[in-house]
Homo-oligomer: A and B are copies of this chain.
Amino acid sequence: MKIKFGSKIYESDEKTSFLNLAKAIGIDVKDLIAAKANDKIFDLLSPVPDTKEIELLDFNNPEGKKVFWHSSAHMLADAVKRLYPDALLGIGPSIDEGFYYDFYNLKVGDNDLKNLEKEMEKIAKENNRFERIASTKSEAEKKLSNEKFKLEILNDLPGEITFYRDGKFEDLCRGPHVVSTGMIKAIKLLKVSGAYWKGDSKREAMTRIYGISFPSKEELEEYLKFLEEKKLHDHKKIGRELELFEFLDISPGSPFMLPKGAIVYNELERLAREFDNKYDYKEVITPLIAKVDLWKISGHFDKYRENMFKVQPFESDEEFGLKPMNCPFHVLIFKSKTRSYRELPLRFADHGVLHRYELEGALDGLLRTRMFQQNDAHSFVSEDQIEDEIIYMLNELKEIYEIFDLKPIFIVATRPDQRIGEDELWDKAENALFNALKRVDYKFTVKEKDGAFYGPKIDVYVLDFTGRPESAYAASTIQVDFNLARRFDAKYIGKDDREHIPVVIHRSILGAFGRFMGIILSNTKGELPLWLSPVQVKILPINDDNKPYAKKIFDKLKENGIRVELDDSNSTLDRKIRDSQLEKVPYVVVIGEKEEKSKTIAIRDRSGKTKYNVNLDEFISDTKEKIEKRAKV
């Protein structure tokens, strides 16, 4: 019998409990949580079943964590019952991060959580062993006679009925659990919220308490620090606090860009337009709706319909599809006249508004919306041009990523089993991708068979604030497509005077502008670089006498195209400075008597450093230069 534990593998055929087995092969069992065999998780005290392989789970293992947190939920229920004997028990599962337990007839606020935590720590110190108790239905009914919610669950249980007891507390439960409560050394109850019994708004309103626990205080502290950090990086929170955008129920997944958010959004669009123009992409503007016929030719109607919206006049039968992608329109423009090989690569860019239907539950602020605009482009190339064109695209990507100081992670996805196009063409295209990345000196990994049926692709990821590749954002994409032009019968006249089908390369560098904005907001905690800041300079007159001079400076900055605000309210200077800090304004200009006399200004930057006696014209030209160059400050 093979025994896995972390990255190590042991051998033993001893027939005993998992715990004893672990001891026998010399593992330090104090960190062990549970064991896995035959795709089932067991208590450590269970006997090892007939199997060829078992795995021992500790907190490093996701399934181990789940058991750990489930046991913690029992301890929470125990604590609640001790302090609030009239509360009734609902359910208490582990979740992705921690656990919760639902209670009925329990009124607790955030302040009460501390006491419950203490009670749970007491239970941990008691180090009660978790015991599995098999029961008959009628015994169970007797035990649960005062717990109407548990009785409801019991009634729905089909097979074996078990309870788990630790100390005096007993709960209807399938398990498994840790050996004893002493393992759970660090506990944090995170919040209280409401929930309906069985998620049904017609049933009882329950009180849900969320918590998380760890085998050590250090791990808990690290986690709480991470939570704090995560909050600072929450783009939705930043968006609310900086008044950048909002979402309303009237149109789920369609952002409202408020004035300051629209500035950031438009700056990103302007950047994309500027670079695409430099790289000779020809911007086009295309319809948002098209007859269903188009989507049938493009294949979206067959393969993508569940993500598409149908559009019909309220009072007529005409039927259209709302575009989820721009590509079919670009092929139509390609086809609008006879094309020659001399025109290739022919590149169309498009910032058209796209809509994709997503379930409301899947929406995630700006990161996942129903409505968005991409810095989308399509290159029409001959088969021989693929490699050079990819290099061309990667060069633009490099320039743009440099502006944001983003380190890209490249993943090449190769031919899947189901595909169109001859192997020779796939060879060519895949090699083009590999060679291009090598020639631009980018490292990449390969995901075999993960390409689309119509061609191989490069997906580009950027790290989130954690720096962990596993939670990196998908940002850019470069996809070779042998199929699209073929479906539309789009052709060009080659050097040989014959018709050829162009290869289409789909490309987006920033992805969706809104999504990219969300990524940058998160990664910078809202401290956008100067050029991207909705307010670049804020002017704070110290008192009423300074207001006229402050206004003059305001006007001069505005004339120079600098986004400037004047806070001429009657708040105190301290308050004004604090507000500017909360608004993450890059430069705060304080105007007092001294400044007015010396005709200079004092500039406080985001770090709190202040430069005095700055010449206004120098500040303006310096700031303008930084903005124009999109400097990283």
Contacts and interface: CB of A to CB of B under 8 A. Distances in A.
A600 to B, nearest CB: 28
A306 B311 contact: no
Interface string A288-321: 1111011000000000011011111111100011
Most chain B CB within 10 A, of A305, A320, A332, is at: A320
Contact of A311 (B250, B261, B310): B310
A329 interface: yes
A338 interface: no
A248 B284 contact: no
A257 interface: yes
A371 interface: yes
7 contacts: A250-B332, A251-B291, A256-B284, A256-B286, A259-B282, A259-B283, A310-B313
A309 B306 contact: no
Interface in A230-282: 246, 248-251, 254-259, 261-263, 265-266, 273, 282
10 interchain residue pairs of minimum CB distance:
A254-B287, A259-B282, A257-B285, A251-B287, A313-B357, A306-B315, A251-B290, A305-B314, A262-B283, A250-B290
A353 B353 contact: yes
A333 interface: yes
A336 interface: yes
A281 B286 CA distance: 27
Contact of A288 (B263, B305, B353): B353
B305 A309 contact: no
A355 interface: yes
A519 interface: no
Nearest to A370: B289
Contacts of A258: 284, 333, 336
Q: Give the interface centre of A251, A294, A332 by most chain B CB atoms within 10 Å.
A: A251
A322 interface: yes
A309 B309 contact: no
Contacts of A314: 305-306, 308-310, 321, 357
Contact of A309 (B287, B289, B308): B289
A320 B355 CA distance: 13
Contacts of A250: 287, 290-291, 293-294, 332
A611 to B, nearest CB: 29
The dominant DSSP class at the A interface is: mixed
- Select the residue from A250, A256, A286, A353 with max chain B CB neighbours within 10 A: A250
A190 to B, nearest CB: 29
With most chain B CB atoms within 10 A of its CB, the pick from A248, A257, A353 is A248
A319 to B, nearest CB: 10
B311 A311 contact: yes
B256 A289 contact: no
Contacts of A355: 288-289
Interface string A72-116: 000000000000000000000000000000000000000000000
Nearest to A254: B287
A333 B322 CA distance: 25
B313 A311 contact: no
A389 to B, nearest CB: 18
A256 B331 CA distance: 12
B285 A265 contact: yes
Contacts of A310: 311-314
Interface centre among A286, A316, A333 (most CB of B within 10 A): A286
A392 to B, nearest CB: 17
A312 B370 CA distance: 12
A259 B284 contact: yes
B313 A256 contact: no
B322 A311 contact: yes
A378 to B, nearest CB: 13
Contacts of A305: 314-315
Nearest to A346: B259
A341 to B, nearest CB: 14
A316 B305 CA distance: 11
A285 B369 CA distance: 14
A258 B320 CA distance: 22
A150 to B, nearest CB: 35
Contacts of A266: 273, 283
Given A251-B290, A258-B284, 10 more contacts: A246-B336, A250-B291, A250-B332, A256-B333, A259-B283, A259-B348, A289-B355, A289-B371, A306-B313, A310-B313
Contacts of A353: 288, 353
Nearest to A342: B569
Interface string A487-530: 00000000000000000000000000000000000000000000
A471 B396 CA distance: 49
A289 B255 CA distance: 11
Nearest to A281: B259
